[in-house]
Amino acid sequence: MTEVTTSQPGGAVDVDDDYEAVRVVGLSKTFKVRSRSSVQHVHAVRDVSFRVTRGSALGIAGESGSGKSTVARMMVGLEVPSDGEIWIGGARLPEPPSTSDRRTHARRIQMVFQDPYSSLDPRQPISAALDEVQRVHFQRSPRERRARTLQLLDAVGLGERYVEALPRALSGGQRQRLVIARSLAAEPAVLVLDEAVSALDVSTQAQILNLLRDLQAEYGLTYIFISHDLAVIRQICDDVLVLYRGELMEHAPAEQLLTRPRHPYTKLLLDSVPRQGMELEKRPERGTLNDAGCLFASRCPHAHDRCSAEPPEFSEPSGGRSRCWLAADAPSTSPLLDHRAAHHKGGPDDDR
Amino acid sequence: MADSAMTQDTRKLTTSTVSTAPPMLEVSDLTTTLLVDGQPQLVVRGMNLSVGAGEIVGLVGESGSGKSITARSIIGLLPRGAEVTGSIRVAGVDRLTMSRRELQRLRAEKIAMIFQDPRAHIDPLWRIEDYIGEGLRVHLGMSNDAARARSRDLLTSLGIVDADRVLRAYPGQLSGGMLQRVMIAGALSCQPDLIIADEATTALDVTVQTDILAILDELRRTQQMSLLFITHDLALASVICDRIVVMYAGRAMLIQDSAGMFRAPAHPYAAALVAARPNPDRRVERLRTVAGRSVSALEAPGGCPFRPRCPYAEPPCAETDVPLQSVGPGVASACIRINDISDQLVESASRDD
């Protein structure tokens, strides 16, 4: 198979930042919500910054309403940021983007959604779906496009016999393979995967996760992997970023964040991953939401007075950052430090 | 006869071991056919399961396995043209011979169901208090005030802080997680003996999911409520279920206690499900996969339906339909090779890669 190139599209790569695939600076998104009497501003994303090294995978985790999908949609240009900058492959996405800006951007970064069926035109055969992307982005003869279509199908493990099939002839896993192939047809450097394996059966999910790893190793792709499932994130991601109500809570290498979380919210997410033999305890009810201090304070078992009064700053002890007064005040004695020990022994939380 | 002895044994196995009274739910040899484009299509084929009082039984399977249709057959919510044979007994009473009226009564008083998508099951034009309170007013004869107070208590017990606001809201004003709690509150309102939860926590955040599992577990302990917990996620089922029934191609492949299924799965399909699930504590070089995809009862080949995907399959697996057979205390498996391969399955389940 000839190589599917992931050459830097659109040029404009800063030589110094060659290793950097994604840079997001101070990204915010505010939605206006009109009720009968007033207009409210809802901060879907607030002041989020991060960088992603070329060829690595960043996981974005958080509950619904955490803003993780909004970050993804802004990155690919489906949503216009209220504030902040998005740089992909050394080029900044202009605001508002023109049609040609969008086209150039689409060659740098592509998105794969959760539900493959609704991302596909039910009347468009597979060959046409892959052909269309190539016609938009490349000057290729029909024969070149056809050859490329076959390469792409092979790369995602779909045989040649599916070339003229319609999406409904494919199983869920095969459809997701097709959607991945289509996103790769634009030869992007960055792939945003928004809950891309969440709707699949367990056995199929494992196949797609292995495929994503193979594609990354072969083409040096950079992934932004959005998922509510930390077990899946563990298998794909080098670094993880945890969002809560639109704000970044913790950002660290995956191994560290998933075994020694510094932020109580990360620990809550980890403790909620279903496992055989886990203890079910009824947690205290969520208090009223607080916007003055730490956004997580009302649900945090470790919260003290300062937490609901003053927003915590990032502390950055060895590798990673965490926005929590607890971690800032006593980084070395944080009771969260060894997640796994806490998990098996019942945890230091029990004596609260 | 060896044959009838085996059936006897199987029946004992699929029946709860917790109490001597008839189980809350007993399904035997259930076969359900749906009408698809005017053609009868086999969806559930010879399904067996039982749920005792205060017991939580998991029904686990991938898409197309027939788990939801099994649930809908039990509660009598099938599309027109569907045909059900076999036996479904609720607290000892035959469900399939019930009149329409008796069935309505059963659904009002004994069984409640929680679905995955609350928006499809809650009338968008009803206020939440009307939805939750309906059963309380109609079946328990409560006044509006009493129904509202009880509804508020239910919502509070499900972790909703501003229950009063939620009661006055319309479904469109609530998030999916909130609406799922509302549907659970509605299901709990008339204190049913049996709840059938079909992917009830699948669309929820993991934190909310754990909260809901804790609530269901408490209801079982305090009120002896029985629960049939349907999910595609074996790990999730293992958290709350006493026993798990693994379904494939419209039939039960394995009935085993939760801990045992993870330690020593007594069927290759269950072993494959255990192995394919990513581990949150460890990054592995390569996730173990199952070749191919899951098939429905209609697509399944003769003999063992898992055979084409099974690494342990041998020619005899194609020859006969294998019924559930007792392979140990409380364990029934539909694998004819289980005695030969059980050591390998234990090894596969404990492997770290």
Q: Model confidence over B210-234: pLDDT tens digits?
A: 888 988 898 888 888 999 999 999 9
Instruction: Using a pLDDT cut of 70, give the percent of chain B over it.
Output: 94
Q: A232 touching B, CB under 8 A?
A: yes
Q: What is the predicted pLDDT for the residue at A148? A: 95
Across the interface, whether the CB atoms of A234 and B279 are under 8 A apart is answered: yes
User: Which segment of A145-149, A259-263, A334-338, B117-121 scores lowest on mean pLDDT?
Assistant: A334-338
Contact B302, B322 (CB under 8 A): no
**Which residue of A64, A273, A282 is in closest CB contact with B280?**
A273
Contact B25, B90 (CB under 8 A): yes
Which chain A residues are within 8 Å of B293, Cβ to Cβ?
171-173, 201, 203-204
Which whole-number Å values give the CA distances from B92 to A271, B100, B330, in the listed order?
40, 18, 21
Which chain A residues are within 8 Å of B235, Cβ to Cβ?
274-276
Contact B267, B341 (CB under 8 A): no
* B111-141: pLDDT as tens digits: 999 988 888 889 999 999 999 999 999 988 9
Across the interface, whether the CB atoms of A210 and B284 are under 8 A apart is answered: no
Query: Is residue A125 predicted with pLDDT exceeding 80?
Result: yes
Torsion of CA A96, A97, A98, A99, to 10 degrees: -140
Q: What is the predicted pLDDT for the residue at A226? A: 96
**Which residue of A64, A172, A234 is in closest CB contact with B280?**
A234
Q: Where are the beta strands (DSSP E) in A65-124?
A: 83-88, 91-92, 109-112
Which whole-number Å values give the CA distances from B318 to B44, B97, B248, B321, B337, in the listed order?
20, 36, 16, 8, 12
* B233-253: pLDDT as tens digits: 999 999 999 999 999 999 999
Mean pLDDT estimate for chain B: 89
Which whole-number Å values give the CA distances from B108 to A142, B79, B209, in the listed order?
63, 20, 26
Which chain B residues are within 8 Å of A257, Cβ to Cβ?
none
Q: B222 touching A, CB under 8 A?
A: no
**Which residue of B207, B282, B284 is in closest CB contact with A268?**
B207
Q: Which contiguous run of DSSP H or E holds residue B195?
A: strand B194-198
CA distance A143 to A134: 12
Q: B141 touching A, CB under 8 A?
A: no
Q: How many CB pairs under 8 A join A and B?
A: 132
Contact A230, A273 (CB under 8 A): yes
Q: What is the predicted pLDDT for the residue at A282? A: 67
Mean pLDDT, residues A211-228: 95
* DSSP-assigned letters across all residues of B245-309: EEEETTEEEEEEEHHHHHHS-SSHHHHHHHHHSPPTT---SS----SS----TTTPPSS-TTGGG
Q: B284 touching A, CB under 8 A?
A: yes
Structure tokens at B122: 């809650």
Residues 6+ apart with CB under 8 A from B39: none
CA distance B181 to A203: 30
**Which residue of A172, A209, A274 is in closest CB contact with B233?**
A274
Instruction: Using a pLDDT cut of 70, give the percent of chain A over it.
Output: 85
- pLDDT confidence band for A303 (50 / 70 / 90): confident
Q: What is the predicted pLDDT for the residue at A1? A: 39
CA distance B134 to B317: 52
Considering the entire predicted model, what is its pTM? 0.85
Across the interface, whether the CB atoms of A275 and B235 are under 8 A apart is answered: yes
Mean pLDDT, residues A176-182: 94
Query: Is residue B181 predicted with pLDDT exceeding 80?
Result: yes
Mean pLDDT, residues A276-298: 77
Across the interface, whether the CB atoms of B214 and A210 are under 8 A apart is answered: no
Across the interface, whether the CB atoms of A201 and B218 are under 8 A apart is answered: no
> Within a 10 A sphere around the Cβ of A186, how many other Cβ atoms?
18
Residues 6+ apart with CB under 8 A from A121: A129, A167
* A307-351: pLDDT as tens digits: 888 899 888 766 789 999 887 665 444 445 444 444 443 333 333
- pLDDT confidence band for A277 (50 / 70 / 90): confident
**Which residue of B62, B175, B239 is in closest CB contact with A201?**
B62
Q: What is the predicted pLDDT for the residue at A64? A: 83
* B250-298: pLDDT as tens digits: 999 999 999 999 999 999 999 999 988 888 888 998 898 887 778 889 8
Q: How far is A202 from chain B (nearest CA, A)?
A: 6
Instruction: Look at B183 and B2; give whichever has higher pLDDT.
Output: B183
Which whole-number Å values give the CA distances from A194 to A101, A346, B31, B286, in the listed order?
23, 33, 39, 22
Q: B101 touching A, CB under 8 A?
A: no
CA distance B134 to B189: 9
Optimal mutation site among B170, B210, B227, interface A, most CBs of chain A within 10 A: B210
Q: B240 touching A, CB under 8 A?
A: yes
Residues 6+ apart with CB under 8 A from A139: none
Residues 6+ apart with CB under 8 A from A176: A112, A116, A196, A197, A200, A204, A208
Query: Is residue A2 predicted with pLDDT exceeding 60?
Result: no
What residues 242-281 of chain A have any CB closer than 8 A to a CB of chain B?
Answer: 254-255, 258-259, 268-278, 280-281
CA distance A169 to A153: 15
CA distance A24 to A84: 7
Which amino acid belongs to residue A294? C
What residues 181-210 of chain A have any CB closer than 8 A to a CB of chain B?
Answer: 201-207, 209-210
- pLDDT confidence band for B352 (50 / 70 / 90): low
Mean pLDDT estimate for chain A: 85
Residue labelled with tokens 């030589």: A15
CA distance A83 to A90: 19
Query: Is residue A15 predicted with pLDDT exceeding 80?
Result: no
- pLDDT confidence band for B311 (50 / 70 / 90): very high
Q: What is the predicted pLDDT for the residue at B240? A: 95
Across the interface, whether the CB atoms of B240 and A280 are under 8 A apart is answered: yes
**Which residue of A64, A231, A273 is in closest CB contact with B177?**
A64
Residues 6+ apart with CB under 8 A from A148: A130, A134, A140, A185
What single-letter DSSP state applies at residue A188? -
CA distance B88 to B92: 9
Across the interface, whether the CB atoms of A287 and B161 are under 8 A apart is answered: yes
- pLDDT confidence band for A289 (50 / 70 / 90): low
**Which residue of A210, A254, A268 is in closest CB contact with B289?**
A210
Which chain A residues are within 8 Å of B283, Cβ to Cβ?
234-235, 254-255
Q: How far is B159 from chain A (nearest CA, A)?
A: 6
Optimal mutation site among A202, A233, A340, interface B, most CBs of chain B within 10 A: A202
CA distance B133 to B116: 21
What residues 164-193 of chain B have any CB closer than 8 A to a CB of chain A?
Answer: 175-177
Instruction: Look at A129 and A339; give whichever has higher pLDDT.
Output: A129
Which chain A residues are within 8 Å of B236, Cβ to Cβ?
274
Most confident of A246-255, B36-45, B197-206: A246-255
What residues 165-184 of chain A have any CB closer than 8 A to a CB of chain B?
Answer: 171-173
Q: How far is B158 from chain A (nearest CA, A)?
A: 9
Q: How far is B302 from chain A (nearest CA, A)?
A: 22
Across the interface, whether the CB atoms of A274 and B215 are under 8 A apart is answered: no
